[in-house]
Amino acid sequence: MALIERIQKEIAEAMKAKEALRLSVLRGLKTALKNKEIEKKRPLTEAEDIQILQTLVKQRKESIEQFTKGGRPDLAEQEQAELKMIETYLPAAVGQEEIERAVSEAIQEVQASSAKDMGRVMKAVMAKFAGKVVDGKAVNDTVRAKLGS
């Protein structure tokens, strides 16, 4: 079942159960997917679906950070709840050990020796994780640590 069809089915379930927050999140997901589908003028691939969901997750994380800094724990909590719901539609994320292993391999492949090579290493690592859910910030931090910058 395509992701958008699954979401549509769950929208109906959320309406019947009168779950306002879940319904709101599902409608937002459906809208984001539909808008991208209209923009591409074709049905989305699974990889494109995942990329859109990752973008929404990143937006929620940034919002949580901003609301926390701004002293609005109520809004941060709501964003956190939405984040958890969105993450249920993503495949399992790549673990820190796997990120570290991929970074080490990429450093050897591109023969990186300093922080100047960070871009090449990042590109190689992210290419290895294409189609998987990976936290770009965690990859970036790991690359920085291994290259000693």
Residue recorded with tokens 């992701």: 3
CATH class, domain 3-87, is mainly alpha
Q: Residue ranges of the domains in the chain?
A: 3-87, 96-147
- Tell me the per-residue pLDDT of 91-108, one tens digit each, with 9 for 90 and over: 877 788 888 888 888 888
Cβ atoms < 10 Å from Cβ of 144: 15
Mean pLDDT of 24-53: 91
- Tell me the per-residue pLDDT of 70-89, one tens digit each, with 9 for 90 and over: 999 999 999 999 999 998 98
Architecture of domain 96-147: Orthogonal Bundle (1.10)
Burial class (CB in 10 A: 0-12, 13-18, 19+), 126: middle
**Banded pLDDT at 68 (limits 50, 70, 90):** very high
**pLDDT, the chain, mean:** 88
Cβ atoms < 10 Å from Cβ of 35: 11
